[in-house]
Amino acid sequence: MRRATAAGVGSPPRSKNVGPHAKVKSVDGDTGLVRGGLAAGALLACVTVLAATDGLDPAQILKPLSDSWPTYSGDYTGRRYSSLKQIDQSNVKHMTLAWSARLAAGAGPEGGGRGNAQGPPFGPAPTIVGGEGKGDVVVAGGITVKGAILAVDNVLYVTAPDHVWALDAHDGHELWHYFWRTKGGTHIGNRGAAMWGHYLFFVTPDDYFVSIDARTGKERWHKEAASFAQQYFLTSAPVTVGNHIIVGTGNDLDSPGYLTSYDPETGEQQWRFYTVPMNPGDPGLETWKSLDAARHGGGHPWLPGAYDPDTHLYIFGTGNPTPAYTAQVRGEGDNLFTCAIVAVNVDTGKMAWYYQTSPHDTHDWDSAQTPVLIDGDFRGSGPRRMVLTASRNGYYFTLDRLTGEHMVTSKFSDTVNWAKPDLNAKGQPVREPAKDHDIAGALVSSANGGATNWPPPAYSPDTGLFYVPLAESYAMYYLSETDPRGAMGLGGKEEIGVGSLGSYIIAIDPKTGSAAWRHKFRTATGGGGGASGLLTTAGKLLFGGDVSGNFVAFDPATGRPLWHTQIGRVTNAPETFLVDGQQHVLVAAGDTLYAFTLNQ
Amino acid sequence: MPYSAFFALCMLFVAVTLNAQPPTPQGGGGRGRGRGGGVVTSPRNAYPDRPTGDPAAIERGKALYSVNCAFCHGADTRGGDGGPSLLRSGVVLDDQNGELIAPIVQNGRPDRGMPKFAFSPDQIADIATFIHTFRAAGYDESRQKPPSILVGDPKAGEAYFNARCASCHSATGDLRGIATKIPDEKVLQQTWLMPGGGGGRGGPPPVLAPVPTVTVTLPSGETVEGKLQRIDDFNVSLITADGAYRSFRTEGDAPKVAIRDPLQGHRELLRVYSDKDIHNVTAFLVTLK
């Protein structure tokens, strides 16, 4: 198959002007400042490490995933399949800890940060402070890493809401820490940063799109990306595609979702794509009660998408419609393009196709999960280009990624009960209105977290199987808002869990939608939430965190555990890359990163 | 939207310590909470409340709003006869003192059927001050006042109870007085569906879930039995009848581990009940005073 030079792929400037002269003290006074007079020494060390590199050329992301981890999913396919195989089934039992690193919100003596102080003249790693907040908003709760960690040229870039850290991949020591002083907003998680040349990009809970210099942590600029007054909050990892940095919104009030493409140099908007109709005549408007309903209809694309360089299509999922539960104000229609897989041309921001996985959702079950792109024969009909998604609503889909044509639907959770037994002609599940919610309570599977959620699935071309974390649960959904005008956002219901029947990793055959195997995690009672995100490798391994705090390597053909270690609940998806030519596997549990490698 | 369940989980696990104190630039203050600041712990308090408006302006604005706006937009700004909710309007949310509202009010929206109003800027500022007294939020406990959840038929519930529950439970035995012990109907319903749940109201569960027991059969044939402490794919631990803690590594099916979960029946019934069955059983159980 033709692998086009991705048109529109631009290369960042190849600045060689990197060195000890990095202008440590010249951070813009109005947006940030370098903290501590002892920073220069540490920075010097940092710059020495980085000076040999040219940052990330976006063309690198087009390559199959192997030595680095340059974007949210590792590569554009979303498969999370690495071609690395130093660690394989025969030697994984010798995999052991290379290092661990605990991230600290503060730095230096006051913040109790880990830092890398070694005494004069080496100070703690510098903390660069930015943000529009006044410093009077305190975020309760510790650091939890719930996103991708970029690994480029032996440096790791890690994020949490309001924070970015650069760490040395050799031992996890901190190079710099960027702290964003927030105005507020929902601090639920951050899925990671994007990179372009020497620039990093990330978003904040108070709705800014921020760029910093990867070499120093110094802020380049920040842009308002959504309205804080309208209660947007941003969590997604931006995605670099050529000269585009693409990022989507989140919001739990009633508001329109959108993707924005930014220029990596200037931060100027290139295009914006709304996931709901915003103007008279917009496609999909007929599926809403009114234009006002559509314009407040949600559909937030809060996770990164996949990208097909041959078609220039950025393919992503959209979130739930709003109001989520008291749906009467949305009308009886499908509420396009919420809860859908959508393909947008990355050069124009125009939609090429869509497929809705939950028409008229009434349970806040987003379809925002990162889709997975695969190529191959489909039931003897010849090679097809496909996109796979396992939706929070408990249904799995294979689609044609050139057209959005439906190919396969299956129910991958046995307990899910919100839809009628038969799919419609388009292969979509059809909602059973009695299972929306009820004043006296409706027993619904799944509970709000869904059959699966943001923790990313994985696909192995070796086995041809699609691996998905699955949780089977029930909750009672009580209608608590009887005003016919409904509630806003997620309001209007009380959802109370009644039990979990099991947590699994399930291996789905994309050609049939049926499960090749299910590994049920052994727990005292029922489930215990969902497993972590997943990673699979050419070493014929599948990595993931179970629901009991074990980080496990499985046989991807059978689901049999081959290796494990107890590190506490894994909170992101495992990754793998080379450090000085040696394969490492990196995973986060809360505020601590663990890097594993072979004990040779 | 995205993550309610995950969020709940996270909020349980996060330390309540103020770990995320902003690093103070070049020493000095910045740790205290100034006016307008706050502690973000959940989506419910993630966005600052608007400053309280001048009471006189609110009164003037309310009078103007009631006469001119309430018919279409509702007395509570949530929408009325033909007019959309203002509470979730992007224009209203972004507006500070009427500056964004003014052009719409003064020019109308003829394409959407909204007439224009010849208010002065001061009058519009008053109306805006009034509108901004309504808080925009999805989570609004003040509106969570549902009618009774009792809709079922107690006789049908009793019949269902006798058919499905009576092998373990008795209305005159273990469940005698259950409705007195758990007076909140919703908590009662949640509790009989799955004992040990908290009823969703944040309080302690009215009934503790019985602990599963486990039997481990070692390769020697010896069996060790006790209250299950913890189990995963690789270890099982238990407390024996004499109070000893025992822990075993497991690999695959060895050693053999058998769990007896007293709530297994409750779990299996989740796949079986209709909502009507649930409502009927609750209607029966509330009679067990």
pLDDT digits (tens, 9 = 90+) for B235-276: 999 999 999 999 999 998 899 999 999 999 999 999 999 999
Cβ separation of B2 and A250 shorter than 8 Å? yes
Clarify whether residues B160 and B271 are in a common domain. yes
Where residue A267 falls (left for φ over 0; alpha for ψ -120 to 50; beta otherwise) is left
CB contact under 8 A, B43 and A438: no
- The reported pLDDT for the residue numbered A118 is 55
Q: How confident is the model at residue A12, as a pLDDT?
A: 59
Nearest to A303 by CA among A339, A249, A357: A249
pLDDT per position as a tens digit, A535-567: 999 999 999 999 999 999 999 999 999 999 999
Residues A211 and A268 in one domain: no
Give chain B's mean pLDDT: 85
What is the number of structural domains in chain B?
3
Q: Judge whether B230 lies within some domain.
A: yes
In this model, does residue B31 exceed pLDDT 70?
A: no
Q: Is B273 on the interface with A (CB under 8 A)?
A: yes
CA dihedral B27, B33, B34, B40 (to 10 degrees): 120
| A189 and A325 inside one domain | no
**Is A434 an interface residue toward B (CB < 8 Å)?**
yes
Residue A6 lies in a domain: no
The whole-number pLDDT of residue A13 equals 53
Identify whether residues B191 and B278 lie together within a single domain. yes
Q: Are residues B59 and B127 in the same domain?
A: yes
| Claim to verify: residue A172 and residue A289 sit in the same structural domain | no
Name every residue whose Cβ is closer than 8 Å to that of residue A493 and which is 6 or more positions away in sequence.
A325, A326, A437, A477, A478, A479, A480, A481, A487
B250 and B236 in one domain? yes
Query: Which residues have a Cβ under 8 Å from the Cβ of A532 and sit 6 or more positions away?
Result: A455, A469, A544, A545, A546, A569, A570, A571, A572, A573, A574, A587
Question: Mean pLDDT across the stretch A230-253?
Answer: 97
From A177, A196, A223, the end of a domain falls on A223
Rank A149-158, A473-482, A527-536, B32-41 by mean pLDDT and report only the highest.
A149-158
A-chain residues near B93 (CB < 8 A): 227, 229-231
CA-based nearest distance B115→chain A, Å: 17
What percentage of chain A exceeds 90 in pLDDT? 82
Cβ A184–B19 below 8 Å, yes or no?
Answer: no
Place of tokens 């006002």: A292
Which residue from A290, A440, A448 is facing B4, i.e. has the nearest CB?
Answer: A448
Give me the CATH number covering residue A351.
2.140.10.10
| Domain extent at residue A48 | 17-53+105-142+149-223
Distance between A407 CA and the closest CA of chain B, angstroms: 27
Query: What is the predicted pLDDT for the residue at B37?
Result: 66
Q: Which of A492, A498, A523 sits opposite B193 (nearest CB)?
A: A498
Residue B156, classified by CB atoms within 10 Å of its CB into exposed (0-12), middle (13-18) or buried (19+), is middle
- Residues from chain A contacting residue B270 (CB–CB below 8 Å): 415, 443, 445, 474, 498-499, 501
User: Do B62 and B179 fall within a single domain?
Assistant: no
pLDDT in tens, A317-334: 999 999 999 999 999 999
Within 8 A of A295 by CB-CB distance, chain B residues are 90
Let me know whether A197 and A250 are in one domain. Answer: no
A70 in the same domain as A35: no
For B74, the domain range is 55-131
In this structure, the answer to whether residues B250 and B159 fall within a common structural domain is no
Pair (A272, A196) in one structural domain: no
Residues 136-165 of A with CB under 8 A from B: 136-144, 162
Residue B77 domain-assigned? yes
Least confident range of A423-432, A520-529, A555-564, B161-170: A520-529
pLDDT band at residue A499 under the 50/70/90 scheme: confident
Distance CA A298, CA A251 (A): 7
Predicted pLDDT at A121: 60
Domain assignment present for B168: yes
Do A211 and A250 lie in one domain? The reply is no
CATH number for position B248? 2.30.30
Task: Please check whether residue A219 touches B, CB under 8 A.
Answer: no
Residues of B in contact with A561 (CB under 8 A): 233-234
Q: Does A182 touch chain B (CB under 8 A)?
A: yes
Of A223, A247, A275, which one is at a domain's C-terminal end?
A: A223
B82: CATH = 1.10.760.10
**Residues A98 and A122 reside in one and the same domain:** no
User: End of a domain among A223, A245, A276?
Assistant: A223
SS3 for A211? strand
pLDDT of residue A599: 86
Q: Scan for tokens 């103020």, then name that residue.
A: B18
Give a yes or no: residue B281 inside a domain: yes
Residue A579: is its pLDDT beyond 50?
yes
Q: What residues of chain B lie within 8 A of the CB of A439, using their CB?
A: 146-147, 149, 151
User: How far apart (Å, rounded) are the C-alpha atoms in residues A525 and A548?
Assistant: 12
**Other CB atoms closer than 10 Å to residue A21's CB: what's the count?**
8
**What percentage of chain B carries pLDDT values higher than 70?**
85
Asked whether residue A206 falls in the same domain as residue A242, the answer is no
- Residue identified by tokens 């040395």 is A168
Label residue A18 by pLDDT band (50, 70, 90): very low
Asked if A321 and A435 sit in the same domain, the reply is: yes
Residue with tokens 């230096």: A108
Contact B34 A255 (CB under 8 A): no
Q: Is the dihedral of CA A193, A197, A199, A203 positive or negative?
A: negative
| Averaged pLDDT of chain A | 90
Using the predicted structure, report yes or no on whether residue A23 has a pLDDT greater than 60. Answer: no
Structure confidence at residue B42 as a pLDDT band (50, 70, 90): confident
Query: Poorest-confidence range of A184-193, A365-374, B48-57, B200-209?
Result: B200-209
Chain B contact for A251 (CB, 8 A cutoff): yes
- With an 8 Å Cβ cutoff, is B18 touching chain A? yes
Q: Is the pLDDT of residue A436 over 70?
A: yes
Of A139, A364, A549, the CB nearest to B1: A364
Number of independent structural domains in chain A? 2
Closest CA to A428 of A299, A341, A315, A322: A341
Q: Which of A55-59, A113-117, A424-428, B194-198 has the highest mean pLDDT?
A: A424-428
Domain shared by B273 and B254, yes or no: no
Decide if A413 touches B, using CB distance below 8 A: no
Q: Does A589 touch chain B (CB under 8 A)?
A: no
pLDDT band at A152 (very low <50, low <70, confident <90, very high): very high
Nearest to B11 by CA among B3, B22, B23: B3
Contact yes or no for A561 and B233 at CB 8 A = yes
Please give the average per-residue pLDDT across B124-131, as a whole number.
97
Model confidence pLDDT, tens digit, residues A370-382 = 999 999 999 888 8
Contacts with A525 from chain B: Cβ below 8 Å:
209, 212, 261, 263, 267
- The answer on pLDDT for A389 being more than 70 is yes
B218 and B250 part of one domain: yes
Q: How far is it, in rounded angstroms, from Cα A196 to Cα A59?
A: 10
Flag whether B34 is in a domain: no
Question: Is residue B224, in this structure, part of any structural domain at all?
Answer: yes
Alpha helices in chain B (DSSP H): 4-13, 55-68, 70-73, 90-94, 101-107, 121-131, 154-164, 178-181, 185-193, 264-269, 275-285
Q: What is the pTM of this model?
A: 0.90
pLDDT in tens, A86-104: 999 999 999 999 999 999 9
Residue A5 lies in a domain: no
What is the sign, positive or negative, of the torsion defined by CA atoms of B155, B157, B160, B166?
negative
The pLDDT tens digits of the residues spanning B224-236 come to 999 999 999 999 9
The dihedrals phi and psi of A447, each to the nearest 5 degrees, come to -65, 175
Residue A397 domain-assigned? yes
Asked whether residue B172 falls in the same domain as residue B84, the answer is: no
Task: Determine the distance in angstroms separating the CA of B35 from the nearest CA of chain A, rounded to an integer.
Answer: 8
Q: Which of A174, A178, A188 to mutate to test the interface with B (most CBs of B within 10 A)?
A: A188
Please say if the pLDDT value at position A47 is more than 50. no
A401 plus A543 within the same structural domain: yes
Give the model's pLDDT for residue B142.
75
CATH assignment at residue A113: 2.40.10.480
Q: Specify if A43 maps to a domain.
A: yes
Task: Report how far residue B228's alpha carbon sits from residue B212's, in angstroms, rounded to the nearest whole number.
Answer: 6
B181 Rama sector, left if φ>0, alpha if ψ -120 to 50, beta otherwise: alpha
Do both B59 and B107 map to the same domain?
Answer: yes
Tell me what pLDDT residue A20 has. Answer: 31
- For the cut 80, the answer to whether the pLDDT of residue B16 exceeds it is no
The H or E element spanning position A295 is helix A291-295
Give the pLDDT band of residue A122 (cuts 50, 70, 90). Answer: low
Q: What is the pLDDT of residues B146-163, one digit of tens each?
A: 779 999 999 999 999 999
Residues A73 and A117 in one domain: no
Contact B23 A415 (CB under 8 A): no
Does residue B123 fall inside a structural domain?
A: yes
Q: What pLDDT, on a 0 to 100 scale, did the predictor assign at position A304?
A: 98
